[in-house]
Chains A and B, each alone.
With several copies, the nearest count.
Chain A
Amino acid sequence: MKEKYPLFQVMGKDGKWQDQTYEKELNEAKVKSLYYHMLRIRTYDQKGVALQRQGRIGTYVPFAGQEAAQVGSALALGEEDWMFPTYRDHGASLAFGADLDMMLLHWNGRIEGCLPSRKKHIMPASIPIATHLPHATGAAMAETYKGSKNATIAYFGDGATSEGDFHEGLNIASVFKAPVVFFNQNNGYAISLPVEKQMNSETIAQKAEAYGIPGIRVDGMDVLAVYIAVQQALDKAKRGEGPTLIEAVTMRFGAHTTADDPSKYRNQDEINQKREVVDPLIRIEKHMKGRHIWDSAWQSSLSEEIGEELDNAISRMENYQKPVVSDMFDYVFEKPTWTIAKQRQQIISRGGRG
């Protein structure tokens, strides 16, 4: 199956062109933009882990290793396209245009943080695995219904492919030729379960055959390849040619969440060593150097700018207004039922928590 679904790469592990077809498209500005977003979310991710360690936020979900997959896919989206991410795809959300402040609030257990953006169509991260795949199908069908030319993208992991909703979402999309891209990040693990025990199929891409749709396997550490693959799938979708399943082969460098201890189920030292070799940021840096579009001064100033942006955002998060107890009651229905009104009254009258 790996022959049938070869790993699409635009650059090799050394950063050199593997496939120069897309050179024009991947011009300096584009590549720099991809790099910028990868650096930004990498920094954000490191801050996230640190904040959690310091007890300044709740459980955090790191995505280090998956920056290329998340940024490459997010930047391929059009302004009006719809993103359906999971809990691990805040990197993609940020790259697409999520509100940083909102995202940070989320890690503080704030409902406000569930809604990552009011400007872009970025849905709250789906917690129950694979359940948002049919949503991406439905939102895509709504675009068709309205006669627009927008598409949707659903993010999900290797583990998600075992859930019924994965299957049902893809099947319905295939039947109605919905303009949706199913973007899988195969990071090798679902918490502790390695992908070899998650499925008996050699690749995830081949699961597309069940739906008579294209399945693409792409090197998820190659941001250029991910960008091109997702862009092509989106174009196809927008041309009315239906959904595509993309498997981005990637790695989760760290723990599943900050509450997880990966050494229970894998040799984390090995991963840490491998990490240095396959790091998607180092790869794109090599590529840029090879093309002589790398500029250390530019990189330093980016780095500084991002650090400042994040520090400011974190301090805003920490000084954010207290959670509003009534928020819990006021958005269940447009108008509260009497039951909710009564309960709201009970607790508000005592000034919040008991």
Chain B
Amino acid sequence: MVMSKELAKTGEKVKTNSFNMIQAINDGLKTVLEKDKRTLLLGEDIGKNGGVFRATDGLQTKFGEQRVMDTPLSEAGFVGTAVGMALNGLKPIVEIQFLGFIYPAFEQIATHVTRTRTRTLGHYHMPMVIRAPYGAGVRSPEIHSDSVEAFFAHMPGIKVVCPSTAYDAKGLLLAAVEDPDPVLFLEPMRLYRGKRYEVPVEEYHIELGKGTMVAQGGDVSIFAWGAMMPIALEAAENMKQQAISCDVIDLRSLYPLDKEIIANSVQKTGRVVIIHEGHETGGIGSEIISIINETSFLYLKAPIEKVTGFDVPVPLFALENDYLPTTDRIEQAILKVYEF
């Protein structure tokens, strides 16, 4: 389990591919299928078609129909089927075609995927990964753009992660598959075919539950993840012109949140902006505020600002950019906490 970033730092050469996120995920899935015979993929259109985003392209040809299974159109059914497989020693990796179609499987996740270890006092467990493309900004049809990670962060028994780079995507995916407990692996559609990163060929894991500081500054702490990272970074960059420097932290794990990285940064800056595209009320932003209240109350110099999606259904694509946080809204929020 080598952290290749670390390796790179120590000067050692690591064989890499230049991959965008969807390629990194495909590569990650290939890696686990090769390594562990107990893993198998289930989902709609993931076989011959290679997935509607091609995340599983070529995998059925390589690993056969028993390892890469096209299921009927039946989210509750195939998540439930995966529960049975996991009970019986396999490690299913399930694809939900879009996060907005996870709702039919909600009951399976809320009462079985997440509770099996507890209700059997550890005699059975659920080594299952549920992958789901998510988020707005790619002109998808209705329901295809929901950002409802907060539901799952409130559900005891499942971890929730979300990469913002191709590198993290593979590393988090491998760690999620390795994890003996269920993990919801959220894939920001908007970043699928974005920037390429050097993605190590070999296996590497990014620890679940750990965020990463992607830009450093002393004035304001910015917390974000997934598709919000590029605009968070852009806003932080722009603020330099006004001599405001920001910590920009990619939380990567949404349950559990990385309490240390949050507290450390807030205790340094005392000023916080949180960004997420999920609805404001009951969003993960409020949970981060709660953690800050608990860990860093005396350090806060200004009310925390949230830049989030609104308490409205994600609109059809003509208005989706009005729903989504923007660099401009983030910059306003940074100014507001800075000038308080």
Seen from chain A, the residues whose Cβ lies within 8 Å of a Cβ on chain B are 58-59, 82, 87, 106, 108-115, 118, 123-124, 127-143, 145-146, 152, 159-160, 162-165, 168-169, 171-172, 175-176, 190-193, 197-199, 259-260, 264-265, 323, 325, 327-334, 337-340, 343-344, 347, 350, 352-354
Contacts and interface: CB of A to CB of B under 8 A. Distances in A.
Nearest to A180: B84
Contact of B280 (A123, A175, A343): A343
B317 A135 contact: no
B90 A142 contact: yes
A59 B317 CA distance: 11
22 contacts: A87-B141, A110-B318, A112-B121, A114-B119, A115-B124, A129-B73, A132-B80, A140-B84, A142-B90, A146-B88, A152-B84, A163-B75, A172-B81, A192-B70, A325-B322, A327-B319, A328-B310, A328-B312, A330-B122, A334-B180, A337-B159, A352-B322
B85 interface: yes
Contacts, number: 261
Q: Which of B47, B73, B78 lies at the interface centre, i.e. has the most chain A CB atoms within 10 A of its CB?
A: B73
Contact of A331 (B77, B87, B117, B328): B117
B256 interface: yes
Nearest to A323: B318
Interface string B124-146: 11000000000000011111100
Contact of A131 (B111, B119, B139, B320): B111
B230 interface: no
Contacts of A168: 72, 74, 76-78, 80
B281 A339 contact: yes
B120 A114 contact: yes
B164 interface: no
A337 B76 contact: no
Given A118-B123, A131-B112, A343-B280, A192 B80 contact: no
Contacts of A171: 72, 74, 77
Contacts of A198: 72-73
B88 A115 contact: no
A143 B87 CA distance: 11
Nearest to B281: A339
Contacts of A141: 81, 84-85
A325 B320 CA distance: 10
Given A111-B319, A328-B310, A343-B310, A131 B108 contact: yes
Contacts of A131: 80, 104, 107-108, 111-112
Nearest to B231: A354
